């Protein structure tokens, strides 16, 4: 979701491992320090229907084993869903989060600093990679995902000091 000023909105999910490990505050701080404004946030226990709507194409792209592993992981505990807003928010968020596979994420990224699982480890065990955070991959993905997770009346427009620097 991009407007004509380059300010975008993107969806972020703090996955069950981030919540269980008590990393929510530290992860949110990273986003806020990068001048990404939280315009919506809620805690949700993902069910099968929500997993299917969020990961609507995962089974087709990677097969039922990958979908089932990911859905099972995401349904294993509460998730914190949020919408971030800022200049080029999708790319900025993905840069802050780091590579999908924590063992490939550089230090200084959320996954590089806090995550603990390699792709090989997860694949050997047939489990989802516990990588703390989901971040929309594109503006189009963000628009779809925001619609899955939030109603329009749950999204807030408000002024913040960072707006002075981004508009």
What DSSP line would sit under 50-80, residue for residue?
Answer: HHHHHTTTHHHHH-HHHHHHHHHHHTSS-EE
pLDDT at position 128 is 83
Could you tell me if 69 and 127 are in contact, meaning their C-beta atoms sit under 8 angstroms apart? yes
Looking at residue 163, its pLDDT comes to: 73
Under 8 Å between Cβ of 136 and 164: no
pLDDT for the residue 71: 84
Torsion 124-115-129-127 (CA) sign:
positive
What is the structure's pLDDT at 2? 53
Residues of the chain predicted below pLDDT 50: none
C-beta atoms surrounding 142 within 10 Å = 24
Catalytic, 134? Answer: yes
pLDDT, tens digit, 9 for 90 and up, residues 52-93: 888 777 666 656 777 788 788 889 999 999 999 999 999 999
* Domains assigned to the chain: 7-150 (3.30.70.141)
SS3 11: strand
- Look at residue 115 in the predicted model and tell me its pLDDT: 86
Tell me, what's the pLDDT at 21? 96
Given 54, 116, 134, 164, which residue is catalytic? 134
Strand partners, 132: none
Q: Are 111 and 98 in contact (CB under 8 A)?
A: yes
> Which spans in 75-125 are helix H?
89-97, 110-114, 119-125
């Amino acid at each position: 979701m991009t407007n004509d000023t380059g300010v975008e909105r993107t969806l972020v999910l703090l996955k069950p491992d981030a919540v269980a490990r008590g990393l929510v505050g530290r992860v949110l701080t990273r986003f806020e320090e990068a001048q990404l404004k939280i315009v919506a946030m809620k805690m949700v226990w993902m069910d099968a229907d929500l997993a299917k709507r969020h990961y609507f194409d995962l089974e087709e792209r990677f097969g039922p084993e990958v979908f089932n592993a990911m859905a099972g992981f995401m349904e294993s505990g509460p998730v914190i869903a949020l919408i971030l807003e800022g200049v080029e928010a999708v790319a900025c968020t993905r840069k802050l989060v780091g590579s999908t596979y924590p063992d490939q994420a550089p230090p200084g990224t959320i996954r590089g600093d806090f995550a603990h699982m390699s792709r090989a480890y997860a694949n050997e065990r047939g489990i989802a990679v516990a990588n703390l955070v989901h971040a929309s991959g594109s503006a189009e993905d963000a628009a779809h995902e925001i619609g899955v997770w939030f109603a329009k009346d749950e999204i807030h427009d408000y002024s913040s000091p960072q707006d002075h620097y981004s508009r």
